[in-house]
Structure 1
Amino acid sequence: MTNRLRNNLKLCEVSDASMILSGPVSARGQNAVHILMEEIERRTGIRLPVMDSLPNDQRPLISIKMVNSSSSPAYGREGYQIRISQSNGRRLIEIEAADDRGILYGVGKLLRIMVLTRNKIEVPTDVDLAETPHFSLRGHQLGYRPKTNAYDAWTPEIYSQYIRELALFGANSIELVPPITDDERTGPLMKYDPLFMMRHVSEVCDAMDLDVWIWYPNMGSPDNWYPATGNDEEFMKPEYLKRQLEEREEIFSSMKRIDHILVPGGDPGALNAQDLFDFMAMEAELLNKYHPNAKLWVSPQAFNPTDEWLDTFYTNVRKEPAWLAGVAFAPWEKHSLPELRRLIPEGMKIRNYPDITHTINSQYPVHNWDTAFAMTHSRECINPRPMAMKHIHNLLKDEGIVGSLTYSEGINDDVNKFVWSGQDWNPDTPVLETLREYARFLIHPDVEYGVANGLLALERNFEGPMITNRQISHTLNHWRKMESRVDEQVLQNYRFEMGLLRAYYDAYVQRRLIHEQELEQRAMDVLYRANETGIMPAMEQAEEILNRKYSQPVCTDYREKCLDLADRLFAHIGAQLTVSKHQGVSITRGAFVEAIDTPLNDMAYLLSAFQVIRSMEEELARKEALDAIIYRTDPGEGGFYTNFAADQSLLRVEIAHEWKEDPGYLNTALIRHNPGLLETAYSILNGSNSHTLLSRETCNRILPGLTSPPLAWISNLSSYYSAPIKVTYSNLDSRSSYTLQVMGLWGGGVDMLLNGKSTADNRITHRGLMETFEVTPDMIPDGKLEIVWVNEETGIGPYINELWLKKDNG
């Protein structure tokens, strides 16, 4: 039952209030009262006294009461009621609940509706609010490991405060990560042993009665402890089993609380399905030795799962072993959530395990994200996506799940955590309400509306082509206006800094994009006249123009602001936004500011080509090579060129479902971005060739000796699992032949059809190379060509970068 608070309620000051426990309250309930006292004092400097009996004066009173569950019709389990009223001349603030968690969440809601400023406490007048959470599971993964973009730099105190804040917004579960995963055990920023941190977090959670989960993959092998993630035949051998179980016993026996363990079927770890369940049975027996009521969960997520693997998996699930509590709907699963529900026993629980942290190559990528964003923001940028998170959450809310425990790799998805918790608590909660509470309580009441609307604006920055997105400048102006008006307390708040950084970063990248696209066009104009001016002078002039990116940079003040904010965030919350300075793992793992100067044109490709051409001795060879570069995308008269980094190219793609229907793209083709090539391009620019062999081989198909790919190869048309890809060309000349050239990656298990006819017999079976097919008049009698790629069984479909359909004009 929920009665929504109205906006813009009148406030009354209660700075001189006292607190009282009305009746017996458990130790955990008293801990919640202590949290209320601390959080008020943290923001106002006022420490409210706790009274043993009702004071005689008329000062405001905060009353906290535990009632019998049978006498609380207004709310249910973990729920509460808050009343604020004027009673006998006294302002009375009442929190009532029937269990410890209800007290905690009532305290959290009160703090979120309070207006807490220096030396002043205000509350809305005449409130009568009763709430019960919609879902029984509401939580987030906070893994202490180097791969995360912040957690590994945290102290126990930071962890404690962050978990407290999540709980005050309704979370009831925290998921930990063991010391050995698909990561190094320790990293340069980790000041504590991982097992110590697991124990600490377990104790923090227990004090607030939060469930403790462990995400526990099956890793390693006797000869290669790290990072074996393949189908490890050694795993079930006695010697190795002993080591695995000893490792788990050390953890299970030393932690104060463990309620659940999630074992991923893969990503990482890749046991065959029967071994997976056999080992989980051993793990469950060991777990219950120390935590008798704890249960195991499992997910069918796995890279390239075969039908045989999935059949064995679900056969074991349907046996319903006593130790198995449920199944997780996780990233990289082949089946949709409704399909998963049909495949498992009717009464078995499903936990949602959504990826809220990634923007590309993920469970829920940003829809049709511009390539410029992908190159500079990569996979784990600061990514508030409040409206997308609400939509994705509510799309799945009626599919028989018990709730969600999100996948997170650090602090960059901070806003998404709180939005997701808000939706788990009540799917009808308006996003703006959560964002206002987030800003009011976690940053400052003075920026409640400004930050809330600023976060929504940052999400809109991602929409459409970056080069024409006027929202980006409006968003920056909005954040700069706040920046100019707030005090130092807000300016030093890491959550405000995160939003401010993204606003400046987006604007800087957009200005660079406009500038560098213009430089490329001017350079190409020079190259087009090379026959008149000479090839070598033309290349020299074009190179000088392209290098104006560095000699005549734009918006250097924005750039310096971004770097300064990155430094501040590292100091304040351990955010690792660069590799070189803040020791982030990689650009794709949260250190996106490292890519702040990545070229947004074909500069790297062109400069690489110039080097090759200069090494040629014959002028004719130079001319032919330069023409190949200049006219690389030209399909010839009557032909067609398609680049899937370009927004308009999607007009040729059949979209089976709109984003709102299929945000996980389980049944729909999508545009993907290759972060490996992003890092390759960056390493080339910085003089490192250690990771460029594959791209160099591919580049050599166009011009031998190239070391950097064209920008068009960063983005591609792809699909997950069995979702087909269909590209259609109409209005072809049905009397002519065409040559179809495909630039992309695909191999065994993917079939390509031309107007329904398989090309398996006449295509060259390479990966990462240009392939050529003949299209004869008898294949296109109606002047229409449909190209379809079908993934036969497993994994991710093809990566199609470019298509040339060249008409035979002979």
Structure 2
Amino acid sequence: MQRFAYTCLFASVIWSLFSCSAREQQDLDLSEAVILISPQMKETVQKTAKKILIEEIEKRTSKSLKTGRDWNSKLTVALTLASADSLYGKTVPIRIGPHAVEQKREGYRIFHEKEGDRNTLWVIGADIRGIYYGIGKLLRTVRMSEGKISLDADIDFSESPQYALRGHQFGYRNTANSWDAWTVEQFDQHFREQVLFGANAFENIPCQKGNSSPHFKVDPQVMEVELSKICEKYGVDYWVWTPAPRDLTEPGAHQEGLETQEAFYARCPRLDAVFVPGGDPGENHPSDLIPYLEDLSKILKEYHPEAGIWVSLQGFNKEKVTYFFDYLDKNSPDWLRGLVYGPSSPPIALERELLPEKYMHRFYPDITHTIRCHYPVENWDQAFALTLGREPCNPQPEMYTRLFQRDSPYTDGFITYSDGTHDDINKVMWSQLGWDPGKAPATIVAEYTRFFFGAEVGEEAARGIFALEENWDGPILENPAIEKTLALWKRLEAANPQLSGNWRWQQLLMRAYYDAYIRDRLAFEKELEAKAYEILGQADSIGADQAMSKALQHLQKADTDPVSQELKEKVLAYAEMLFQSIGAQSSVEKYQASGAERGAVLDFIDYPLNNRWWLEDEFAKIRQFESEAEKLARLDFIRSYESPGEGSFYDNISSADVRHVTSKTNDAIDFLWENNGISRKRLSTQLFQFTPTLEYDELDPESDYLIRVSGFGEALLRANGQRLTPSKYQKGYEEFKEFPLPGELISEGKLKISFDKPDEEHLNWRQQSRVTDVWVIRQ
């Protein structure tokens, strides 16, 4: 129902944004417009505003607008501050009162004024940022094509942002999957584009070693200063993310951290905020961290008097959280500007409630990752998790709109966590929702595609972005959207060769081909596995060894006779284009990505989507058995692993197509990551939950049942609320716990299975108990 509503809204927005034939006579033709810029603004601001407007229009139209100092043109684009009385002798039409949002901080108004045969398009900003944001809205609204620039003649639009802080992290470091390959010029353009979509802050991760990335084109200590200059150029805040030394109790660590930071502050021309995470990384107790922050604030004030210190409570346990807030209540330090809420912080509503009003509350949402993260993809198929991994191109306008509206009201704004270009659309979504949380996703995406791809392409490209998000909704083999999405992007690809060098275009097309390739592989490899089990079913007649050999030969067709190689070749081609255009590192070996989780989607594009690796290993073990009977028994168990027989049930706990699991994880920790993602375990073993719940309503009250559980560690199982006693209790992976189910608990044929959480808070989540598979087996 919600998707239908979005579709209807999308259609109406697209119609209003892109249909122009009925209103052509009402359009303003800006192709010969002259730009007037208020001389009351600083000369550097005038220069930047003019440069943005002229350059961005010329890129898209080949028309270079002129600037002037009089009103002789038939159409004038006038840029001025709301505080100005006049512009080159003409009175500036200023509104007053509560509805004059161009008077509010960062607000602006764009409207058309007609006087006889003279037309003026006013862009009035409350301040310098308001001017830039007004230019951004104008550029996102005008219809531009070769030699043509037009706009609705009746435009009168104004807005001011609801959230004071709207920014994104751009860490110039090796772990980013693309930033470390960028030049100063690329960052300048990208920051400009982010400002045009409403961002007002950028956060770097300074103090990187010069040899830490093979992709650096600029020394990181030079780049961190250049990023500061770019922020000053566009009048936005420059933040830095600077963890404390990992253990402040070590001799000299406190002072070493201060000295490193001071050296950076001294060479940085603009710095507005320093964010020190309390954890991730860093495990310092607040009793050690707070003195460090206080000393850091004194040094910061020497070089940047208006800058502030921020800290997060990421990874803090209850005792640390209590200590920190007790300190704030008792001391009310002025050196602290605010608190940052990030992944693994205390609950966001609780943190806001405990934080004294004098401090700001900044959000640090993770919009860059898909699994093992703050905001995992909802209802994602395991095949995508195994292949696309943690940092693929991930446009999710609908999901992030819901999450923004849910969590942001507890904050004063945000700087998102990002580690590359793959989440570009998500950045724009957050920037625009920071202006207006009620803005429709379709409106934002339509402006994105219009601006970056052109008005003639924008409508269908916007549909394509929503289609890519729909690709990820539920079991792949039950999702007809994937085929339709590829067809849509193929049409766009063929019809728009002029966009082939556009990196945003490249990564969207690469995703469409990648999704379709994984769909085809999954269907093929599931068929191969099903056929292999049929062969194993003949083991009694043909012998265990021959059955294993024939089954393996069939499974190996995934490698010897692979499907849809034309789709894979398109993925590889676009990966190369992205490396050339923006340094996107989609492979550790080929493109020197810093790690397998850092956008290395090519390294997993052929990862098995059936259990053939596990079966190869199991067959090798079985061949060592002494008797044929043992071999046959084990093969029968393998063949029926997910098919326990009529009247019995099996669930792969976190699979997208489970029947009985009613619980979901609140983090993407239901995907096991080991050996850099190259695990040979059963696919079901690589999905888990800590305390799942399952419900059944089709049990036979007259039958006896056994509940079997696989996973790791403890499994404190309850059936309809009653803790059961196990008859078998093995704790290793691919081992089993078995619980006889008392008949009186299912007198109505219904069963709810739940698990109590063991006392394991002292353990890292990777060592905590989890459940991977559950069977209810009719005896």
* TM-score (norm: length of structure 1): 0.86
Q: Retained in 1: the 8 A contact 2:125–2:131?
A: yes
Distance 2:45 2:66 in 1: 17
Distance 1:628 1:150 in 2: 47
1:371 equivalent in alignment to 2:342: no
Residue of 748, 764, 771 corresponding to 1:800: 771
Distance 1:431 1:729, change over 3 A: closer
DSSP-derived class of the 2:123 partner: strand
Distance 1:77 1:767, change over 3 A: farther
Q: Retained in 1: the 8 A contact 2:474–2:657?
A: no
Q: 1:206 corresponds to which letter in structure 2?
A: E
Q: Retained in 2: the 8 A contact 1:587–1:679?
A: yes
Distance 2:682 2:362 in 1: 42
For 2:686, the equivalent position in structure 1 comes to 714
Q: How far did residue 87 of structure 1 move?
A: 2.8
Deviation by residue 1:162-202 (Cα, 9 ceiling, x = unmatched): 1110001110000111235xx99711112222221111101
DSSP-derived class of the 2:689 partner: strand
Distance 1:806 1:22 in 2: 79
Distance 1:127 1:444 in 2: 20
1:214 equivalent in alignment to 2:240: yes
Distance 1:531 1:459 in 2: 47
Deviation by residue 1:194-237 (Cα, 9 ceiling, x = unmatched): 221111101100111101111121234xxxxxxxxxxx3xx234
Distance 1:714 1:137 in 2: 39
For 1:536, the equivalent position in structure 2 comes to 545
Alignment of 1:345-364 (within 5 A): 345-364=356-375
Q: 1:713 corresponds to which letter in structure 2?
A: T
For 1:661, the equivalent position in structure 2 comes to none
For 1:554, the equivalent position in structure 2 comes to 563
Q: How far did residue 623 of structure 1 move?
A: 2.4
Q: How far did residue 645 of structure 1 move?
A: 4.0
1:321 equivalent in alignment to 2:322: no
Distance 1:611 1:792, change over 3 A: closer
For 2:168, the equivalent position in structure 1 comes to 140
Q: Retained in 2: the 8 A contact 1:751–1:760?
A: no
Distance 2:486 2:210 in 1: 38
1:770 equivalent in alignment to 2:771: no
Q: Retained in 2: the 8 A contact 1:69–1:99?
A: no
For 1:99, the equivalent position in structure 2 comes to 127
For 1:48, the equivalent position in structure 2 comes to 65
DSSP-derived class of the 1:20 partner: strand
Distance 1:103 1:219, change over 3 A: same
Q: How far did residue 243 of structure 1 move?
A: 1.4
Alignment of 1:232-251 (within 5 A): 232=247, 235-251=248-264
Q: Retained in 1: the 8 A contact 2:651–2:660?
A: no
For 2:79, the equivalent position in structure 1 comes to 64
The RMSD of aligned alpha carbons is 2.8
Stretch moving more, 118-127 or 627-636: 627-636
DSSP-derived class of the 1:341 partner: helix
Residue of 306, 324, 328 corresponding to 2:317: 306
Q: Retained in 2: the 8 A contact 1:186–1:194?
A: no
Distance 1:735 1:15 in 2: 82
Q: How far did residue 84 of structure 1 move?
A: 2.5
Deviation by residue 1:53-109 (Cα, 9 ceiling, x = unmatched): 333xx4422111123189653221111111134333133221111311111111111
Distance 1:275 1:756, change over 3 A: farther
Distance 1:126 1:776, change over 3 A: closer
DSSP-derived class of the 2:162 partner: coil
For 1:580, the equivalent position in structure 2 comes to 589
Distance 2:741 2:76 in 1: 86
For 1:394, the equivalent position in structure 2 comes to 405
Residue of 438, 449, 460 corresponding to 2:448: 438
Q: Retained in 1: the 8 A contact 2:726–2:740?
A: no
Identity over aligned residues, as a percent? 33
Q: How far did residue 737 of structure 1 move?
A: 6.7
Q: How far did residue 133 of structure 1 move?
A: 1.1
1:338 equivalent in alignment to 2:339: no
For 2:10, the equivalent position in structure 1 comes to none
Residue of 651, 657, 673 corresponding to 1:675: 673
DSSP-derived class of the 1:262 partner: strand
* TM-score (norm: length of structure 2): 0.89
Distance 1:649 1:599, change over 3 A: same
Q: How far did residue 511 of structure 1 move?
A: 0.8
Q: How far did residue 25 of structure 1 move?
A: 1.5
For 1:200, the equivalent position in structure 2 comes to 226
Distance 1:239 1:130, change over 3 A: same
For 2:281, the equivalent position in structure 1 comes to 268
Distance 1:26 1:80 in 2: 18
Distance 1:532 1:317 in 2: 76
Q: How far did residue 780 of structure 1 move?
A: 3.2
Distance 1:67 1:646 in 2: 56
Q: Retained in 2: the 8 A contact 1:378–1:675?
A: no
Q: How far did residue 21 of structure 1 move?
A: 1.9
Distance 1:72 1:665 in 2: 48
Deviation by residue 1:553-611 (Cα, 9 ceiling, x = unmatched): 21111110110001001101111112221111233221112211111111111122222
DSSP-derived class of the 2:305 partner: coil
Q: Retained in 2: the 8 A contact 1:26–1:100?
A: no
DSSP-derived class of the 2:658 partner: helix
Q: Retained in 2: the 8 A contact 1:185–1:194?
A: no
Deviation by residue 1:662-715 (Cα, 9 ceiling, x = unmatched): xx938xxx882223367123xxxxxxxxxxxxxxxxxxxxxxxxxx21111121
Distance 1:384 1:64, change over 3 A: same
DSSP-derived class of the 1:25 partner: coil
For 2:144, the equivalent position in structure 1 comes to 116
For 1:689, the equivalent position in structure 2 comes to none
Q: Which runs of 5+ in 2 are unaligned?
A: 1-12, 86-93
Stretch moving more, 611-620 or 261-270: 611-620
DSSP-derived class of the 2:379 partner: coil
DSSP-derived class of the 1:589 partner: coil
Distance 1:478 1:54, change over 3 A: same
Alignment of 1:395-794 (within 5 A): 395-399=406-410, 401-488=411-498, 490-633=499-642, 635=644, 639-649=648-658, 651-654=660-663, 665=666, 672-676=670-674, 679-681=677-679, 708-718=680-690, 725-729=692-696, 739-746=706-713, 753=718, 756=721, 766=731, 768=733, 770-775=735-740, 777=742, 780=745, 782=747, 784=751, 786-790=753-757, 794=761
For 1:702, the equivalent position in structure 2 comes to none
How many equivalent residue pairs? 739
Q: Retained in 1: the 8 A contact 2:449–2:458?
A: yes
Q: Retained in 2: the 8 A contact 1:82–1:94?
A: yes
Q: How far did residue 281 of structure 1 move?
A: 1.0
Distance 1:536 1:771 in 2: 26
For 2:269, the equivalent position in structure 1 comes to 256
Q: 1:391 corresponds to which letter in structure 2?
A: R
Distance 1:237 1:776 in 2: 54
Residue of 3, 19, 42 corresponding to 2:35: 19
Distance 1:193 1:759, change over 3 A: farther
Q: How far did residue 265 of structure 1 move?
A: 1.4
Distance 1:556 1:799 in 2: 37
For 2:54, the equivalent position in structure 1 comes to 37
Distance 1:754 1:263, change over 3 A: farther
Stretch moving more, 305-314 or 424-433: 305-314
DSSP-derived class of the 1:54 partner: coil
Q: 2:319 corresponds to which letter in structure 1?
A: E
Q: How far did residue 504 of structure 1 move?
A: 0.9
Q: 1:404 corresponds to which letter in structure 2?
A: F
Q: Retained in 1: the 8 A contact 2:174–2:213?
A: yes
Q: Retained in 1: the 8 A contact 2:74–2:118?
A: yes
Distance 1:774 1:433, change over 3 A: closer
Distance 2:752 2:160 in 1: 56
DSSP-derived class of the 1:673 partner: coil
Distance 1:273 1:791, change over 3 A: farther
DSSP-derived class of the 2:71 partner: coil
Distance 1:801 1:672 in 2: 9
